[in-house]
Structure 1
Amino acid sequence: MIGTNSGRRGGLLASTAAGLLLTLALSGCGAGSNNTPDAGSPPSASATPSAAATSDPPSSAAPSAASPAAAAPAAAKPAVLSRSEPVALEIPAIGVRTELLKLGLRENGSLEVPQDDGNGAPASWYNGSPTPGERGPSVMLGHVNSPNGRGGVFKDLRQLTPGTEINVSRTDGSIAVFTVDRGELYSKDSFPTLKVYGNTPGSELRLITCDGYDPATGLFDDNYVIYAKLKA
């Protein structure tokens, strides 16, 4: 189980993948259902990066002259923003403008998700992930449907194409602008935990919702994930 500070600076380390399967299957998103989606459990605390693994190396830590790497400078990491929690998400291309809840973990270690009172729920930011603009993947969850029949806040994620802009307003007054890289569909039984949550060299954004509706069960069997990167 991860505390709310785990992984904020650099995401969740991908080096301890064995057995860390995240079932980010928003399985409670049944049509006409008011059930809370079960967003599964993030990787355990053993998978979070140490400070040494996530921070930039100190300038004094140069390789010795005898090292083959001495002649090659370390690759510069992409620029990122300072820490500032998100307050709103806007995706003009699909008409989304939502305030953001800040949710963490349930007692069983699974992710909390927005409660839908029947009129549609806002999206939420997982507060154990980096803030949008920091280095690493910032994670946001949203419903695809709503009991009122009008659809959830993330009902049109599939319409997003590479290059589409996503704006995240932050508490410091700044706006972190991301561009969509791609969208991917995953079965809840084979959700790629580390691909979604693993460390990234720059600032990235993950938008996650339900997909794969099964009319026989009234549930969704899959998740759809948007991958986006901070605009340079």
Structure 2
Amino acid sequence: MTIGRKGRRGPALLTAAAALLLTACGTSPPSSPTPPTPTTTTAPSPASDATSGAGRAAGSPAAPGSPSGSAAASRSTPAQAAKPSEPAAEPAAAPVSMQIEKIGVSSELLDLGLQENGTLEVPPEDAGAPAGWYNGSPAPGDPGPAVLLGHVNSLSQTPGVFARLPELTKGDGISVKREDGTSVAFTVDRGEQYQKNQFPTLEVYGNTKGPELRLITCDGYNPDTGIFEDNYVVYASLAE
């Protein structure tokens, strides 16, 4: 169900899909509040025909210009050699798995992109389905909000990978492993519940100065309609 990676885009691309996040959450009611036993889920093989889109070049600021004109030419001291520019920072590798010890989450990550109609792919609703990383967002560890999606439940009414997100509180840890073998740690700042028709696109997807993380699932199950009417978002920052 994955599509080729298209590079990490900015808010312009993210905005197109923001209001449509996780509208396909399972319509079965939440299961028993008893915390599920920690499990490890396995993602399907990633697409082999990944396309090469716009890269996340992280160039260094241009160096200030050297003195010029007669004032510079009249100096008696030898000209200083220009300092070599610093190399561009290497972009972070794509994420492959995540762990949240407090709520017993250990999940591999699907690679999710945009569908042909411009809506965002979501993980399957099968029991034990893993979470997924939206590949139009920064990779965890790069500046900006990396977006991870997961269901609150499955079609079989078993708890989804993000069923216990509301239990996370400020200071809880989240670890993301990347395909180059490195890991990056985040610390939860807060969690917020939003009505889907009032989803705060810029707050969730807008650029940030440093690396941040967004975990998104469904919430607000309405037994009268049989659907989840809200989203729940956990905000996390790079651990110090």
Shorter chain as denominator, the TM-score bin is 0.7 to 0.9
- Which residue number in structure 2 is paired with residue 105 of structure 1? 114
Task: List structure 1 runs of 4+ shifted beyond 3 angstroms.
Answer: none
Return the offset for 1:150: 2.4
- Which residue number in structure 1 is paired with residue 232 of structure 2? 224
CA RMSD of aligned residues (A): 2.9
Matches within 5 A, 1:102-181: 102-117=111-126, 119-181=127-189
Change in Cα spacing, 1:219 to 1:132, as seen in structure 2 (3 Å) is same
Matched, 1:60 2:83: no
How far apart, CA to CA, are the structure 1 residues paired with 2:197 and 2:112?
24
How far apart, CA to CA, are the structure 2 residues paired with 1:116 and 1:168?
22
- Which residue number in structure 2 is paired with residue 12 of structure 1? 11
- Which residue number in structure 2 is paired with residue 73 of structure 1? none
**In structure 1, what residue type is equivalent to 2:148?**
M
How far apart, CA to CA, are the structure 1 residues paired with 2:122 and 2:6?
15
**In structure 2, what residue type is equivalent to 1:187?**
Q
Name the TM-score, length of structure 2 as normaliser. Answer: 0.71
Say which of 195, 203, 209 aligns to 2:211.
203
How far apart, CA to CA, are the structure 1 residues paired with 2:18 and 2:158?
32
Change in Cα spacing, 1:150 to 1:25, as seen in structure 2 (3 Å) is closer
Matched, 1:26 2:23: yes
**Identity of paired residues, percent?**
52
Return the offset for 1:221: 0.6
How far apart, CA to CA, are the structure 1 residues paired with 2:175 and 2:25?
28
How far apart, CA to CA, are the structure 2 residues paired with 1:81 and 1:200?
18
The number of equivalent residue pairs is 190
How far apart, CA to CA, are the structure 2 residues paired with 1:227 and 1:22?
17
